Structure 1
Amino acid sequence: MKSVTINSNDAGQRVDKFLQKHFASLPKSMMFKQIRKKNIKVNRKRCTPEQVLCDGDVIDLYLPDDMLAEKKKHFDFLSAPKELSIIYEDENIILMDKKQGELCHPDGKEYVNTLVASMKRYLYDKGEYKPDEENSFTPSLANRIDRNTGGIVIGAKNYQSLKILNQKIKDREIDKLYLTVTEGVFDKKSDVLVGWLTKDTKKNMVKITTKEVPDGKLCRTKYTVLDSYNDLSLVEVELLTGRTHQIRAHLASIGHPLLNDGKYGSHHGRFKQELYSYKLKFNFTTDAGILEYLNGREFESSDCPILEKFRKRVY
């Protein structure tokens, strides 16, 4: 028999989800079977797979030890770079300014030089993240940005914050504004573009058309031109929908590809596209629980290279 005590970062999870995270050698089908047979209990009472766990609950598992091997904890993050550009931090969240070229998560080739690993190391060094005391939770990123795009990424320090942030992002109650440099001078200084996006998975590209097409997903992109020079434009973009490569493809579809984005038609070559998620607004319209204090607050990158280079006319 083995007992596991639920802590605050485990609370709010379903029994089955928690057990899958915590025990490496417990097959999913066996887990459901043992719950039905009452060999897995919560607070010495019969439980169900979908039962939500609370802080302080005790799960008892009356199973052979070979089924209850706990997942090994890896501390690779201790080798991650210490450099971390922090815009804002409190007891629940951390807003970080990701550099262009930096990975948010491991990509199958690189596991350590990532933003999430650096965040874990930072919190570990501060004593806020104690992996030996956690059953299932690790500090996590609530949103992600493509490798060649820079900007604000939200980190969650606890499970409750992560759960709330994930829901708010899904419900589009967190507004993200981007800055980009595009080719050409716009006819309209501001507009909302509407189109239908389809994917070409073989080429890892998308296409946007103005007319509805089979399998096309509706996408809406709001843009405002802030400045122009030498046939280049500095543009603020707000995603009204969140689709793959939406900004790149939508602006390219009206003849204004992102500078250096050769994949979507830039004449300047195939380098890092000039795109930066520079502003974040918490715009909650429903209850945000422990994060309600963030409602209405706005955060901006203090070191946006795109803005600085455009102002200095160095493009």
Structure 2
Amino acid sequence: MREFTIGKNDAGQRLDRFVAKNLPLLPPALLQKYIRLKRIKVNGKGSKRDVRLETGDILQLYINDEFFDKPNEENLFLTVFKPQLNIVYEDENLLLVDKRPGMSVHADETEKVNTLINHIQAYLYQKREWNPKWENAFAPALCNRIDRNTGGIVIAAKNAETLRIINEKIRAHELEKSYLCITVGRPKQPEGKIEGFLLKNEAKKEVRFFHKPVPGGKTAVTLYRTLESRGGLSLVECRLLTGRTHQIRVSMAEIGCPLLGDGKYGKGDVNRRYHETRQALYSYKLRFDFPTDAGLLNYLKGQEFTVENVPFREKYFPEIPS
């Protein structure tokens, strides 16, 4: 329990607004709930949220200590009152979460709170599986990233050993990730391999494709398979043999079939015609191959997980089976 004594400079403020200003990590919905439950008292009694505070009033807050901390990158998860997660799979070591398009995986210059990692940490905190007060260093962490406007499976590690193993397996290409996308046009070859070199321009945040090695360029190999074509659009499955920034988007554009909705590498007139503002790309399938030992995660060997509801597939190719 913490107490505040209202001074003359704070007098006249509403109770809920005073608490919100002094406890910025306390989610607004949780603040209102605590007032209703009388866990926030004025002069020893429960009070309404819109009561005006007076000089000398004593506020008693029966609230977890974490909410009294100062906001920083490590505790922003506390501001998420009701985590919004579509969990594909969960066990004691990891979570597989279907990230919705539009959500950032980590904090960036445009979003600090409503990120996937904050939702995951809030979820585990509220389940009493993790508390930053218990740990010296480790916090639940993401093992892979997906662009803000791309949806699909993201792996979150609940402990340091899982994070280490999954990172090793990703580097060793022992996890198979498959993507669905909708392309503008039909690939000339129904299926094939796109090989080249990708060079990232950090200033422009875009990537260029080269057929020959270039200074700073990284090898990129993408396998693709056309599942269906109709009305100038194609449903294509892609599998990454390398994991480069914007790899599928740039590679499909290079063969003349950019992704529908892609504002950076796509066709603006087609995107506007279909009213699509996000690239139609989804990391919909994950398989744990594990040809080598995976330690405490050996039980995942050979398991495959699939997102059943890929929004753009339902919209443009609803009869194509998952």
TM-score normalised by the chain length of structure 2: 0.72
After the TM superposition, which residues 5-44 of structure 1 pair with which residues of structure 2 at under 5 Å, given as runs?
none
Report the Cα distance in structure 1 between the residues aligned to 2:103 and 2:143, rounded to whole angstroms: 17
After the TM superposition, which residues 91-102 of structure 1 pair with which residues of structure 2 at under 5 Å, given as runs?
91-102=92-103
**Percent identity at matched positions?**
49
SS in structure 1 of the partner of residue 264 of structure 2: helix
1:288 matched residue in structure 2: 294
2:86 matched residue in structure 1: 85
1:120-142: CA deviations, max 9, x gaps? Answer: 11111111112211111111111
Do the aligned partners of 2:99 and 2:151 also contact (CA within 8 Å) in 1?
yes
After the TM superposition, which residues 1-315 of structure 1 pair with which residues of structure 2 at under 5 Å, given as runs?
74-80=74-80, 81-266=82-267, 267-269=269-271, 271-312=277-318
Do the aligned partners of 1:262 and 1:268 also contact (CA within 8 Å) in 2?
no
Report the Cα distance in structure 1 between the residues aligned to 2:75 and 2:244, rounded to whole angstroms: 34
Q: Indicate the structure (1 or 2) with the bigger Cα radius of gyration.
A: 2
Report the Cα distance in structure 2 between the residues aligned to 1:175 and 1:115, rounded to whole angstroms: 22
Report the Cα distance in structure 2 between the residues aligned to 1:158 and 1:199, rounded to whole angstroms: 32
In the TM superposition, residue 306 of structure 1 has moved relative to its aligned partner by: 2.1
Do the aligned partners of 2:224 and 2:238 also contact (CA within 8 Å) in 1?
yes
2:38 matched residue in structure 1: none
In the TM superposition, residue 227 of structure 1 has moved relative to its aligned partner by: 0.8
Distance 1:74 1:154, change over 3 A: closer
In the TM superposition, residue 184 of structure 1 has moved relative to its aligned partner by: 0.5
In the TM superposition, residue 215 of structure 1 has moved relative to its aligned partner by: 3.3
Do the aligned partners of 1:179 and 1:306 also contact (CA within 8 Å) in 2?
no
Flag structure 2 segments of 5+ consecutive residues without an equivalent.
1-71
Flag structure 1 segments of 5+ consecutive residues without an equivalent.
1-71
Give the AA of the match of 1:116: I
Give the AA of the match of 1:232: L
Distance 1:298 1:209, change over 3 A: same
Report the Cα distance in structure 1 between the residues aligned to 2:318 and 2:221, rounded to whole angstroms: 31
1:145-179: CA deviations, max 9, x gaps? Answer: 01000000001111110111111111111111110
Do the aligned partners of 1:227 and 1:235 also contact (CA within 8 Å) in 2?
yes
